[in-house]
Structure 1
């Protein structure tokens, strides 16, 4: 690894330990919320596209003891940390973190997916992703290259990113995306091409503000209508996590099972970890 300063941070109430760069891209609560939106059980195959240091996928493996994770990450340092995080949490046997650029299909020629099929021919049961939030030219580059690549689109724009995800999921499998609300129309447009039964889960920073994030889930080949689900208010009026948000971030239950609570507060631990804030 090229001299990155590393921290080890606790997720899911410190039940999961994650190595990540001290500066630059750092996983936070978006990864936990993404994992919590996957509503399934059993021995499923999961692909995390743009997995970073593996946080979302490893949170999912923690909840689903029979699942197997593949992660794709273009940045070699982050991919290496993802493999180290799998080992740190005794999840290496169910984890495959791959350094790969989805724009270069040649890198997948020697990679195998579920059932030992060639990666690009395999069908995953569920694909999760937290794509870069900003279009090229719409945001300033960060001082850290790692953070810039994680937050600003480079050679793969959002539409191409989502099309790659849909192509990797099997028929009747699901794609789950967390992204900025102001790009929701684009997300729905792309996913509705081959998917249906779309569900949108808004994430409000507090009871008074507009939703800044959304989780979108789609069923490949689904025919059901678009649904706007119960969302999640993340903080109360004092800036502390609401009780439903705290339950998810500390224990990782299904997000879809949680109803919005406008006034519930979490008081027993005021020193909520900064890397888990939204």
Structure 2
């Protein structure tokens, strides 16, 4: 009877996802970028995934819920013990503890970590810090600062870790700022991660893309698909709402329809 109750609880938690996720007090709060990354990664090949800088696990857990293959597993890695613990708690609450394992690992020391080993993953999810420390207003609190700015691990560090973990031709999925696309391209190329798909994310029609979702292949050949932009919102003022395309791409966005609320 207790097992049945637990199943009902996890089923309710899955239906509400991402509402209800445990997040450490004072830590970085996940946003729509993690949810978009999860939905994007669900369209990519791979069943053995790692979520680098997992935070509370939103991207990795979202991928498990959205991916069509029920055999998928995720290792969520974060250097903050409180975040890794929260990710493990969230996996348990969703009934995914057998498919999601949280670990406390700094990606810059991935080669010294007991796990995971080299070439142990066929898919990497990554929602790294977006901004150069010399640009933008810095938030209060060390955890939030490190989540937004490259002060404690940069994209080249995440790319190097991904290249170490991925099997040959494995896939790296990432979300980043459109304005830093040249920086992203250079960082991935230096680690033999060849970009194969770019999906621009625009707030609305007629507005330049602010973010990009991209997929890169380890040791992949040339050949890039630049996809039509995904428009997130339509309408203005109090009539602003998510577009049908945005909801079809990432149903998780329905939890937070207010524009701009989750931007880093």
Q: Could you tell me whether the CA contact under 8 Å between 2:197 and 2:227 is conserved in 1?
A: yes
Indicate yes or no: 2:31 matched with 1:31. no
Task: Tell me how far apart the structure 2 counterparts of residues 191 and 41 of structure 1 sit (CA, whole Å).
Answer: 19
Task: Tell me how far apart the structure 2 counterparts of residues 151 and 78 of structure 1 sit (CA, whole Å).
Answer: 15
Q: Could you tell me whether the CA contact under 8 Å between 1:12 and 1:251 is conserved in 2?
A: no
For residues 150-188 of structure 1, the C-alpha deviation after alignment (integer angstroms, 9 at most, x for no partner) is 111124222232222222211111001100011101111
Q: Could you tell me whether the CA contact under 8 Å between 2:195 and 2:214 is conserved in 1?
A: no
Task: Tell me how far apart the structure 2 counterparts of residues 275 and 86 of structure 1 sit (CA, whole Å).
Answer: 27
Task: Tell me how far apart the structure 2 counterparts of residues 275 and 205 of structure 1 sit (CA, whole Å).
Answer: 8
Q: Could you tell me whether the CA contact under 8 Å between 1:240 and 1:270 is conserved in 2?
A: no
Q: Could you tell me whether the CA contact under 8 Å between 1:206 and 1:233 is conserved in 2?
A: yes
Q: 2:211 aligns with which of 203, 210, 213?
A: 213
Indicate yes or no: 2:25 matched with 1:14. no
SS at the partner of 1:103? helix
Indicate yes or no: 2:44 matched with 1:47. no
Provide the residue aligned with 1:204 in structure 2. 202
What does residue range 175-194 of structure 1 map to in structure 2 within 5 Å? Answer: 175-193=172-190, 194=192
SS at the partner of 1:81? helix
Task: Tell me how far apart the structure 1 counterparts of residues 258 and 203 of structure 2 sit (CA, whole Å).
Answer: 16
State the superposition RMSD in angstroms: 2.7
Task: Tell me how far apart the structure 1 counterparts of residues 129 and 255 of structure 2 sit (CA, whole Å).
Answer: 31
Indicate yes or no: 2:241 matched with 1:240. yes
For residues 249-271 of structure 1, the C-alpha deviation after alignment (integer angstroms, 9 at most, x for no partner) is 3258xxxxxxxxxxxxxxxx898
Task: Tell me how far apart the structure 2 counterparts of residues 175 and 122 of structure 1 sit (CA, whole Å).
Answer: 13
Indicate yes or no: 2:257 matched with 1:272. yes
Task: Tell me how far apart the structure 1 counterparts of residues 257 and 195 of structure 2 sit (CA, whole Å).
Answer: 36
Q: Could you tell me whether the CA contact under 8 Å between 1:205 and 1:233 is conserved in 2?
A: yes
Task: Tell me how far apart the structure 1 counterparts of residues 58 and 255 of structure 2 sit (CA, whole Å).
Answer: 24
Provide the residue aligned with 1:231 in structure 2. 229
Provide the residue aligned with 1:168 in structure 2. 165
Name the count of aligned residue pairs.
244
User: Which deviates the most, 158-167 or 78-87?
Assistant: 158-167
Q: Residue 197 of structure 1: CA displacement?
A: 5.3
For residues 23-50 of structure 1, the C-alpha deviation after alignment (integer angstroms, 9 at most, x for no partner) is 54111211111011122467x1001111
Q: Could you tell me whether the CA contact under 8 Å between 1:30 and 1:178 is conserved in 2?
A: yes
User: What stretches of structure 2 of length at least 5 have no aligned partner?
Assistant: 1-11
Q: Could you tell me whether the CA contact under 8 Å between 2:107 and 2:157 is conserved in 1?
A: no
Task: Tell me how far apart the structure 2 counterparts of residues 134 and 66 of structure 1 sit (CA, whole Å).
Answer: 35
For residues 102-145 of structure 1, the C-alpha deviation after alignment (integer angstroms, 9 at most, x for no partner) is 2234750x32x3xxxxx2x2331100101001122323331222
User: Which deviates the most, 144-153 or 203-212?
Assistant: 144-153
Q: 1:69 aligns with which of 67, 74, 87?
A: 74
Task: Tell me how far apart the structure 1 counterparts of residues 129 and 122 of structure 2 sit (CA, whole Å).
Answer: 23
User: Which deviates the most, 160-169 or 181-190?
Assistant: 160-169
What does residue range 246-257 of structure 1 map to in structure 2 within 5 Å? Answer: 246-250=247-251
SS at the partner of 1:52? coil
* Cα distance, 1:242–1:11 mapped onto 2, change above 3 Å: farther
